[in-house]
């Protein structure tokens, strides 16, 4: 099987020739070791949007400045009903940034953010997706990318955990009015997705139980997943959700969702839900893990044994993929990825022994 065929077989619940190894394409440095890994079967993963977004009545001003030796970027959104801004501290490891201030800081900011959401215009960009597919070929898969679901968008991007908690309790009318506005606009995105050439989508929700909680997940996240999944399933397309946090408290609720795969699942020692327990909880769902970050720092022999234990935990091995969705430290990525690849190539043949 080619890397592309192997991934699609696993995602569709079919038995591939062996357990797939994948890596987000932008996380794998190009060179000799990268080429060897791909020759051994590693599949690149590209998450690609299928539409572009414009806001014809919103002006954005970007400012850069230094404070105490650190570089910051402020983005201000000006609208006919007012303006809001967000602040990032840049220069983190691997080009990351830290959101220091969110768009919603006070009650009156809701009106401005609602205007911004309602002003969005979505334009299909299917040719970009097809171009990515043509470029990647059999070396991996291109998967449709959707942003956060409405509740997670509010928590992660628009207000942050403190304002989220306060307004959920003290300003529920405003809070849920914004939630419904975002959900309404996402329904337009769903339709563009179903009509696109993408065969699978990832909802990039970064779910972790400590932040979203079981009740809110079940009432506000799961219904959005199910709505999107129903539309995709009518076209024989798949839906996965990026759940890279602690999921033990949510395991039953996730099982009841209509999604096809849990992507970037965090097994021990990153998460709190053991892989074998997740396999039992979600027998009909694909589990696509992020190989646990701390294990990359171990010696190759311990990394290899960790992979072997994973294979024992998921035997006979259908509906399972080993992925890399986070940066690996530069000084260990080569030996770590080679150790993972070697075990999967030599001992990951399907079906795995019980």
Q: What is the pLDDT of residues 182-202, one digit of tens each?
A: 999 999 999 999 999 999 999
Distances (CA, A) of 350 to 21, 61, 192, 211, 252: 13, 54, 36, 37, 28
Q: Which residues contact 62 (CB under 8 A, 6 or more apart)?
A: 73, 74, 75, 76
pLDDT at 227: 98
Residue 113 lies in a domain: no
User: Does 208 lie in the same domain as 68?
Assistant: no
User: Does 96 lie in the same domain as 229?
Assistant: no
CB 84 within 8 A of CB 180: no
pLDDT tens figures, 127-162 = 999 999 999 999 999 999 999 999 999 999 999 999
Nearest to 89 by CA among 78, 75, 105, 77: 75
CB 284 within 8 A of CB 260: no
Residue 198 lies in a domain: yes
User: Does 61 lie in the same domain as 24?
Assistant: no
pLDDT at 95: 80
Rounded to whole angstroms, how far apart are CA atoms 153 and 318? 32
Whether the predicted pLDDT of 75 surpasses 90: yes
pLDDT tens figures, 17-64 = 999 999 999 999 999 999 999 999 999 999 999 999 999 999 999 999
Average pLDDT, integer, range 296-314: 98
User: Does 132 lie in the same domain as 245?
Assistant: yes
The domain in which residue 76 lies consists of 56-105
> Pairing between strand 261-265 and 286-290?
parallel
pLDDT tens figures, 202-255 = 999 999 999 999 999 999 999 999 999 999 999 999 999 999 999 999 999 999
Average pLDDT, integer, range 123-127: 98
User: Does 47 lie in the same domain as 131?
Assistant: yes
Whether the predicted pLDDT of 115 surpasses 90: yes
Residue 233 lies in a domain: yes
Average pLDDT, integer, range 3-10: 98
Task: Indicate the pLDDT class of residue 93, thresholds 50, 70 and 90.
Answer: confident
pLDDT at 321: 98
User: Does 322 lie in the same domain as 289?
Assistant: yes
Percentage of the chain exceeding pLDDT 70: 100
- What average pLDDT is seen over the chain? 97
User: Does 217 lie in the same domain as 334?
Assistant: yes
CB 353 within 8 A of CB 312: no
Residue 301 lies in a domain: yes
Angle at 292 between CA 205 and CA 319, to 5 degrees: 70
User: Does 11 lie in the same domain as 137?
Assistant: yes
Q: Please name the residue ranges forming H helices in the chain.
A: 3-11, 32-39, 109-119, 126-136, 150-152, 160-170, 172-194, 209-212, 214-216, 222-234, 251-256, 275-281, 300-314, 333-347
Residue 272 lies in a domain: yes
Rounded to whole angstroms, how far apart are CA atoms 238 and 288? 13
Q: How many residues does the chain have?
A: 354
User: Does 73 lie in the same domain as 199?
Assistant: no
Residue 111 lies in a domain: no
User: Does 298 lie in the same domain as 161?
Assistant: yes
pLDDT at 318: 96
CB 339 within 8 A of CB 303: yes
Rounded to whole angstroms, how far apart are CA atoms 272 and 192? 36
Whether the predicted pLDDT of 257 surpasses 80: yes
Residue 110 lies in a domain: no
Q: Model's pTM, two decimal places?
A: 0.96
Nearest to 96 by CA among 64, 73, 78: 73
- CATH code of the domain in which 309 resides: 3.20.20.210
pLDDT at 211: 95
Average pLDDT, integer, range 301-320: 98
Percentage of the chain exceeding pLDDT 90: 98
Residue-wise over 164-191: b if at least 16 C-beta within 10 A, else e? Answer: beebbeeeeebbbebbebbbebbeebbe
CB 237 within 8 A of CB 273: no
Number of domains in the chain: 2
Q: Which residues contact 149 (CB under 8 A, 6 or more apart)?
A: 186, 203, 205, 220, 221, 224, 225
pLDDT at 123: 98
Computed on alpha carbons and rounded to an integer, the radius of gyration of the chain in Å comes to 21
Q: Which residues contact 251 (CB under 8 A, 6 or more apart)?
A: 273, 277, 278, 281, 282
User: Does 210 lie in the same domain as 69?
Assistant: no
User: Does 261 lie in the same domain as 328?
Assistant: yes
Residue 75 lies in a domain: yes
pLDDT at 94: 76
pLDDT at 96: 85
């Amino acid at each position: 099987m080619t890397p592309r065929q192997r991934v699609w077989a696993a995602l569709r619940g079919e038995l591939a020739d062996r357990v797939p190894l994948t890596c987000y394409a932008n996380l794998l440095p190009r060179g000799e070791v990268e080429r060897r890994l791909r020759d051994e079967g590693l599949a690149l993963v590209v998450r690609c949007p299928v539409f572009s977004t414009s806001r014809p009545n919103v002006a954005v001003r970007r400012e850069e400045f230094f404070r105490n030796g650190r570089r910051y970027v402020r983005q201000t959104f000006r609208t006919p009903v007012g303006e809001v801004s967000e602040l990032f501290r840049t220069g983190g490891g691997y080009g990351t940034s830290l959101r220091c201030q969110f768009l919603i800081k006070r009650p009156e900011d809701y009106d401005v953010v609602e205007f911004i959401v309602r002003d969005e215009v979505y334009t299909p960009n299917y040719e970009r997706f097809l171009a990515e597919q043509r470029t990647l070929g059999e070396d991996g898969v291109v998967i449709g990318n959707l942003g956060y679901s409405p509740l997670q968008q509010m928590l992660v991007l628009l207000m942050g955990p403190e304002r989220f908690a306060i307004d959920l309790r003290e300003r529920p009318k405003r809070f849920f009015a914004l939630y419904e506005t975002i959900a309404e606009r996402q329904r337009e995105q769903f339709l563009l997705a179903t009509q696109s050439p993408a065969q699978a989508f990832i909802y990039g929700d970064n779910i972790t139980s400590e932040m979203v909680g079981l009740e809110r997940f079940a009432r506000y996240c799961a219904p959005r997943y199910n709505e999107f999944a129903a539309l995709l399933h009518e076209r024989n397309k798949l839906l996965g959700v990026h759940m890279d946090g602690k999921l033990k408290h949510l395991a039953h609720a996730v099982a009841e969702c209509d999604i096809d795969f849990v992507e970037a699942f965090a097994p021990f020692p990153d998460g709190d839900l053991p892989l074998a327990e997740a396999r039992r909880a979600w027998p009909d769902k694909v589990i696509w893990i992020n190989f646990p970050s701390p294990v990359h720092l171990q010696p190759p022999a311990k990394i290899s044994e960790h992979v072997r234990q994973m294979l024992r935990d998921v035997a006979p091995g259908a509906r399972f993929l080993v992925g890399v969705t986070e940066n690996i430290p530069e000084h260990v990525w080569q030996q770590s990825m080679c150790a993972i690849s070697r075990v999967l190539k030599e001992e990951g043949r399907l079906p795995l022994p019980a």
